[in-house]
């Protein structure tokens, strides 16, 4: 790295690309190319921003080559491929646009590393719809927050700091008085303790049983006849308490994380949550919030939808986009030998690993990535929101934030690589 390219600078109001909350208040110091998070970063942000970049070169089958040769080799692999698969897709809106363009040109299947969770949501949206709220609405309005199957902070560290116990809110002058409920097991409920020590209420429940609990709660709210004889006294008390607070909230929010609902047909549990929220809206204001889509996942869903008409798991092999959320998952495509080349993209998190596959693997990943096999081509790429400007969608999908460049990198962007490859095909 050339330190002359890095004048000492403090960057303020920097949006962090390392989870889908995209906190936009970080203060990052760049001193001769070494980054320090000076304010507002969580441990994940600090780990990523402050990671020292190794200096490595592109490789073909482990041998160092020029960037030009690596790009040429990728284009040759894709030209001779009949069914390529583009997956991982850890990049920003610009990188995703280029991915979709190249996928269309080469007849590829497109999927994201976090699609399994995102697809659970998509099935619910396509079937019966939902009533979603936004992070800003929660911050400014909510007086009751129910977490179903997630504690938020394990995956999205600053959620409580930014949106629940925030001091300034436009319409809720008593954010510290917010009621917090958890439904689930093995959740870190400590952040749910209010600033003045008010404990949250936790309904202990296996994640796969949340749907049943919510169905009973919904029926109770609706005044349906429900046989509650088999419920324990404790469970009945929890049910009544939650029913009371849901009905009396002025602005309630129900939060889940589809990636953490990892059991068969979890989409039905999500649908039960959404249907109950719709019902509550007959008498008060209530919204849903889904937490998920790190590594550009929410952006990937949006870009795929506006480019192809479908969310992820789209196949361009027949010359038009075909959508199948099960068949075109990365796991199924590889298991069923439906791809003959894999392009894996991961420009945010160094800990993601491409799946092992018995086909040519092209890896566009951060320089510190250590794949546990030798890919056919590896081009180290820079990170959107650190090494170059760009855009990413937040978890609530309504806001795309402009990312800032806080460091000069010698590594190319995903967009640059894919556009160069596209020009050779
Ligand atoms: S919570 Fe997420 S977006 Fe916010 S600083 Fe941490 S990693 Fe970055």
Helix (H) or strand (E) holding 124: helix 115-127
Nearest protein Cα to ligand 1, atom 4: 23
24 touches ligand 1 (CB under 6 Å): no
Class of residue 327 by CB neighbours under 10 A (exposed 0-12, middle 13-18, buried 19+): middle
Q: What is the spatial distance between Cα 221 and Cα 388, in angstroms, rounded to a whole number?
A: 50
What is the predicted pLDDT for the residue at 135?
A: 96
Q: What is the spatial distance between Cα 305 and Cα 317, in angstroms, rounded to a whole number?
A: 17
What is the predicted pLDDT for the residue at 226?
A: 83
- At residue 26, what are phi and psi to the nearest 5 degrees? -75, 150
Residue of 45, 50, 393, 401 with the most ligand 1 atoms within 8 Å of its CB, for mutation: 45
* CB-CB neighbours of 124 under 10 Å: 24
State how beta strands 26-31 and 9-14 pair. Answer: antiparallel
**How many whole angstroms from 152 Cα to the centroid of ligand 1?**
12
Q: What is the spatial distance between Cα 293 and Cα 20, in angstroms, rounded to a whole number?
A: 6
Indicate the angle between helix axes 414-423 and 93-106, nearest 10 degrees: 30
Q: What is the spatial distance between Cα 91 and Cα 106, in angstroms, rounded to a whole number?
A: 19
403 touches ligand 1 (CB under 6 Å): no
Nearest protein Cα to ligand 1, atom 2: 19
**How many whole angstroms from 111 Cα to the centroid of ligand 1?**
24
What is the predicted pLDDT for the residue at 5?
A: 65
15 touches ligand 1 (CB under 6 Å): no
**How many whole angstroms from 410 Cα to the centroid of ligand 1?**
25
For 262-304, the pLDDT digits (tens) are 999 999 999 999 999 999 999 999 999 999 999 999 999 999 9
Return the structure tokens found at 332. 């199924």
Q: What is the pTM of this model?
A: 0.94
Domains of the chain: 3-45 (no CATH), 54-114+295-423 (3.40.50.740), 131-290 (3.40.228.10)
Q: What is the spatial distance between Cα 86 and Cα 350, in angstroms, rounded to a whole number?
A: 18
Which 8-state DSSP code applies to residue 20?
T
* CB-CB neighbours of 202 under 10 Å: 18
Return the structure tokens found at 14. 């920097």
385 touches ligand 1 (CB under 6 Å): no
**How many whole angstroms from 42 Cα to the centroid of ligand 1?**
6
Per DSSP, the residues of 307-368 read HHSS-SSEE-TTSS-EE-TTTTSHHHHHHTT--SEEEEEESS-TT--PPP-SS-EEEEE-TT
41 touches ligand 1 (CB under 6 Å): yes
Q: What is the spatial distance between Cα 229 and Cα 409, in angstroms, rounded to a whole number?
A: 64
16 touches ligand 1 (CB under 6 Å): yes
**How many whole angstroms from 276 Cα to the centroid of ligand 1?**
30
The 3-state DSSP class for residue 178 equals coil
What is the predicted pLDDT for the residue at 258?
A: 97
**Measuring CA to CA, which residue among 117, 162, 121, 123 is closest to residue 139?**
162
**How many whole angstroms from 376 Cα to the centroid of ligand 1?**
33
The residue ranges of the chain whose pLDDT is under 70 are 1-6
């Amino acid at each position: 790295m050339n330190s002359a390219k890095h004048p000492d600078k403090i960057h303020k109001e920097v949006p962090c690309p390392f989870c889908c909350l995209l906190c936009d208040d970080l203060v990052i110091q760049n001193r001769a190319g070494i980054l320090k998070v000076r304010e507002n970063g969580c441990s994940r942000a600090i780990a990523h921003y402050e990671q020292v970049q190794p200096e490595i070169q592109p490789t073909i089958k482990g041998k160092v080559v020029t960037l030009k040769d690596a790009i040429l080799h990728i284009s040759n692999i894709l030209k001779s491929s009949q069914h390529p698969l583009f997956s991982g897709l850890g990049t920003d809106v610009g990188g995703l646009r280029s991915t979709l363009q190249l996928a269309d040109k080469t007849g590829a299947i497109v999927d994201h590393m976090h699609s399994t969770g995102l697809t659970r949501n998509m099935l619910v949206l396509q079937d019966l719809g939902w009533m979603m709220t936004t992070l800003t609405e929660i911050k400014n309005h909510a007086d009751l927050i129910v977490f179903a199957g997630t504690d938020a902070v394990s995956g999205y560290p600053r959620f409580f700091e930014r949106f629940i116990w925030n001091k300034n809110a436009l319409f809720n002058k008593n954010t510290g008085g917010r009621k917090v409920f958890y439904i689930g097991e093995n959740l870190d409920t400590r952040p749910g303790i209010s600033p003045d020590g008010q404990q949250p209420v936790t309904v202990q429940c296996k994640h796969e049983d949340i749907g049943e609990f919510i169905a009973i709660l919904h029926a109770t709210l609706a005044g349906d006849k429900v046989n509650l004889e088999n419920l324990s006294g404790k469970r009945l008390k929890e049910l009544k308490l939650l029913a009371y607070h849901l009905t009396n909230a002025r602005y309630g929010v129900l939060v889940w994380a589809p990636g953490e609902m990892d059991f068969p047909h979890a989409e039905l549990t999500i649908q039960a949550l959404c249907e109950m929220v719709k019902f509550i809206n007959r008498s008060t204001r209530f919204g849903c919030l889904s937490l998920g889509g790190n590594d550009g996942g929410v952006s990937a869903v949006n870009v795929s939808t506006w480019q192809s008409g479908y969310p992820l798991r789209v196949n361009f092999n027949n010359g038009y986009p075909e959508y199948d959320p099960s068949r075109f998952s990365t796991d199924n495509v590889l298991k069923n030998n439906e791809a003959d080349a894999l392009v894996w993209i991961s420009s945010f998190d160094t800990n993601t690993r491409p799946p092992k596959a018995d086909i040519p693997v092209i890896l566009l990943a951060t320089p510190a990535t250590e794949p546990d096999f030798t890919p056919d081509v590896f081009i180290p790429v820079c990170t959107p929101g650190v090494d170059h400007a760009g855009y990413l969608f937040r978890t609530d999908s309504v806001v795309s934030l402009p990312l800032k460049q806080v460091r000069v990198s010698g590594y190319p962007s995903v967009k640059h690589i894919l556009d160069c490859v596209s020009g050779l095909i």
